[in-house]
A and B are shown apart, each in its own frame.
Chain A
Amino acid sequence: MDGKKTGYQVNLFRPQKGRMRDQVLIIFVILFGWGAVNFGFQALVALSQGSKLGALLTGRTFFTLPLHFWFTGQFLPLWFIILGVFFNLYIDGITDHHNRKRDRSYE
C-alpha cells in the first residue's frame, strides 16, 4: 500500500487531472441522465395531471401501453442499459487514450 506521496486526496468533486477528471466528468453526465430522466419524468407525470400534457402522457398509447406506463416500465430499464453502454464505451475510450499517452505518473 505504500507509494510515493503526491499530496493529493481523492475527492469526487476535485478529481486529479488526466484520466480521473475524464472519468468523473462522464460519471456526472451519466448520473444526470440517470436521475433527470427517471425522477424528472415522474415529476412531470405527477405535476401535469389534469392538464393537456397530462392527458397526452397518460392518454396516448405506445406499443399498446399508455405512454407514461411504457416509458416508466419499459423504456427506463432500456435507458439504464443505454447509459451503461455509453459509459463503458467512453471509459474504454479514455482508458485506451491514456494508455497510449502512457499517463502513468504513479508508476
Chain B
Amino acid sequence: MNDVSWPIVLVVLAVLFSFVVVGLRQKLKESVEYGFGGRYTGRVGGGAAIASNWMSAASLMGLAGVFYLKGYQALAYVVGWTGGYVLLLVLLASQIRRFGKFTAPDFVGERYGSPAARLIAAVVSVLISVIYCTAQFKGIGLIVSFMLGVDYTRGVCIGALAVVSYLVLSGILGVPRNQQLLYGVIAVSFIAPLMWLSGKLGYFWLLPQFGYGVAMQELASRFHVEFAAPFTRDTLFDWCALCFTLMVGTAGLPHVLSRFYTVPNIRDARWGVVWGLFFIALIYWSAPAFAVFGKLLELRQGVTLAPEAARNAADLIVLRTAAAAGLPGWLIGVLAAGAMSAAFFTVAGLLMTGAASVSYDIYYSILNPRASESSRMRMAKGATLVLAALVLILALNPWGGIAEITALAFALAGNTIFPLFLLGIWWGRANDDGAIAGMLTGIVCTFAQPVFGWLFPMAAVIFPLTSSALFGAPLVILVMILVSLATPAPPERMRNFLEQEVHGTLD
C-alpha cells in the first residue's frame, strides 16, 4: 500500500465504521417501530430506503463501466433499471402488500398452494442472490485491489473476508441498517466527487449531469469517439431486449419485492416508489459522466487501451477517473466508500435473503416442518457462509463485467418470479401446475444461450444471456396460461381471497 492509498483506506473504514456506530445509537434510542425493511419514515424516507436497497456496485461502478465500453447501448441499463419501477408500481406494489406474505417463495407457496412451486421459487431466489452477489464481490474485489494495490484475486479474497466479518459483527451487535443514512452517503459520495471532477476539467460543475455533454462533444470532434452514436455496436433488438429484461427483472427481484410485503401504509408505499425512483435517477443521470470524463482524460494523456485491457479496466472507471484527474486522496476515498457501502449492504441483504430461503422456505417449510427456531437459525447462519463461499468461488473468475453479471440475475428474475407474481395477482385461474411449468420454462430460457446455444444457434439469438426476458417472460406467461387452463383451477378460497382482499380493499 502506498502513501496515496492511506487516505482512501481510512475514509472507507471510517464510513463503514460510522454505519455501525449510527446503527447502535439508533438501536439504543429506539426500542420499537422496526418493520421488515427498517423503521417507518414516511414517503421520502421510504423512497430513500428503496433507493439504498437498490444501489449496488452495479449502479455505482458497473453502469459507468458498461457506458465506457458501449456508449449509447449502455443507456439500456439506465432506462431498464428505472423503468422497471413503473411496472412494479402499477402492477404489483399495492397488491403484494395486501397479499400479506414475507418472501417471494412464501408468496408463491401460498398463492399457488404448492410445496413444489415454493421449493422451485426458493431455489430460484437463492440462485438470483448468488449471481447478484457475485457482481457485488467483483466490485468489492476491484475496490480493494485499487485501494491496496494488490491483484484482483487477492482483492476479492480480502473483500470477501471483510464483508463476511462485517455481516457477522453487525449480526452479533444486532445493528439495524439505517437505509436513509446509507442513501445519503451513497448520493453524496457519488455526486460530490463528480462535481469536483467536472469543475477541475473546466466543465459546468454545478450540474455535472448536463456538463458532460461538452466533454462528449470534445471526444467526438477531437478524438472521433462517438459515445452518443446509436446502435453502432449493437442493434435495436439488442437494446430493447436488454432494456425489457432489466425492467421485468427489476419488478421480479425478490429483495426488491420484499420492500412491499410489510409496509405499514399502502398509499405511502406507492409514493415511496416514486421518491425511490427519483433518488435512483439522481445517480443514473450522473454515472455516464464518469465514463465520459474518464475516456477524455485517457485520450488527453495519450492513453489508448486495447479492447481486452479496456474491458478489464472498465468497472474501475469511476475510481480510475478520479485518480487520473488528480482528485485529493480523501475525496477518492469518499467515492470508494460510497461504492463499497452500496456493495457491502447489498451483499448483506442478498446473503440474508438467500439464507432465509434456505432455512425457512426449503428447510423448515419443506424438509423439516418440526425444526426448532434454534436449528433454523443454525441453518440460516450455515447457509450464509456456504453462499458466501460459493459467491467467492464464482467471483474469482467472473464471466463478465459487473453490470453484465447483474443483468443475468435480472433475466432470471424476469423469466421466473415476475410472471409468477403478475399472473398470481392478476389472473385468478393461474394454478400450481402452471406456476411450476412457468418457472421451469423461465430457467431454461435464462440459461438457453450457454446450455443449448451450441446445439441450437437460434436459442442464443432469441435468448441472449443478459437479455433473455424479451421473449422469455412472454413465453413463460403463455406456458403458465396454457398449463393452468389444461389443469384443475386453483381452490375457490384463493380465488375469493384474490378478489376480496387483494383487489377488493381500498388503500
A26 proximity list for chain B (CB < 8 A): 90
**B231–A46 contact, CB under 8 A?**
yes
Q: Is B278 an interface residue (CB 8 A)?
A: yes
Chain B residue numbers with a CB within 8 Å of A84 are 85-86, 89, 273-274, 277
Task: Please indicate the chain A residues that have their CB under 8 angstroms from the CB of B504 in the complex.
Answer: 20, 106
Cβ contact within 8 Å between A42 and B239:
yes
B496 touches A3 (CB 8 A): yes
CB-contact partner of A61 in B85, B211, B213, B236, under 8 A: B213
Q: How close is B209's CB to chain A, nearest CB, in angstroms?
A: 7
A12 to chain B: which residues have CB within 8 Å? 426-427
B284 within 8 A of A: yes
Let me know if B500 and A87 touch, CB within 8 A. Answer: no
Most A-side CB within 10 Å, residue of B78, B90, B500: B90
Q: Is the CB of A2 within 8 A of B493?
A: yes
Compute how far the CA of A5 lies from the CA of B428 in the bound complex, rounded to whole angstroms.
14
**Residue from A58, A68, A85 in contact with B274 in the complex, judged by beta carbons closer than 8 Å:** A85
Across-interface contacts of B244 in A (CB, < 8 A): 39
In chain B, residues 176-221, which have Cβ atoms closer than 8 Å to a Cβ of chain A? 204, 209-214, 216-217
Knowing A34-B86, A77-B78, say if A98 contacts B426 (CB, 8 Å).
Answer: no
B295 at the interface (CB under 8 A from A): no
Given A2-B496, A31-B90, A88-B274, decide whether A104 and B285 contact each other with a Cβ distance below 8 A. Answer: no
**Majority-rule SS of B interface residues:** helix
Query: Residues 69-107 of chain A: 1 if any B CB is under 8 Å from the residue's CB, otherwise 0?
Result: 110111011101101110110011001001100001010
Contact B285 A80 (CB under 8 A): no
Instruction: Write out the residue numbers on chain B whose beta carbons fall within 8 Å of the beta carbon of A19.
Output: 506
Give chain A interface residues in 1-48, CB to chain B under 8 Å: 1-6, 8-12, 16, 19-20, 26-27, 30-31, 34, 38-39, 42-43, 45-46
Known pairs A2-B496, A5-B496, A9-B499; A78 contacts B281 (CB<8 A): yes
**Chain A residues near B488 (CB, 8 Å)?**
none
Contact with A along B221-257 (1 / 0, CB 8 A): 0000001111100011001100110000000000000
Most A CB atoms within 10 A — which of B83, B271, B284, B495? B83
Q: B452 contacts the other chain (Cβ, under 8 Å)? A: no
Query: Does residue B429 face the partner (Cβ distance < 8 Å to A)?
Result: yes
Which residues of chain A are near B89, meaning CB under 8 Å?
84, 87-88
Chain B residues close to A by CB (< 8 Å): 72, 75, 78-79, 82-83, 85-87, 89-91, 94, 204, 209-214, 216-217, 227-231, 235-236, 239-240, 243-244, 267, 270-271, 273-274, 277-278, 280-281, 284-285, 288, 425-429, 492-507
Given A1-B493, A10-B502, A66-B213: 16 more A-B contacts, CB < 8 Å: A2-B493, A5-B492, A11-B428, A12-B426, A42-B240, A64-B204, A72-B75, A72-B79, A78-B281, A81-B278, A87-B270, A88-B271, A91-B270, A92-B507, A95-B267, A99-B506
The 5 closest A-B pairs by CB, nearest first: A64-B213, A84-B274, A10-B428, A65-B213, A46-B236
Q: List 10 A-B contacts (CB under 8 A).
A: A3-B500, A4-B496, A9-B429, A11-B428, A20-B503, A31-B86, A39-B244, A72-B79, A87-B270, A106-B500
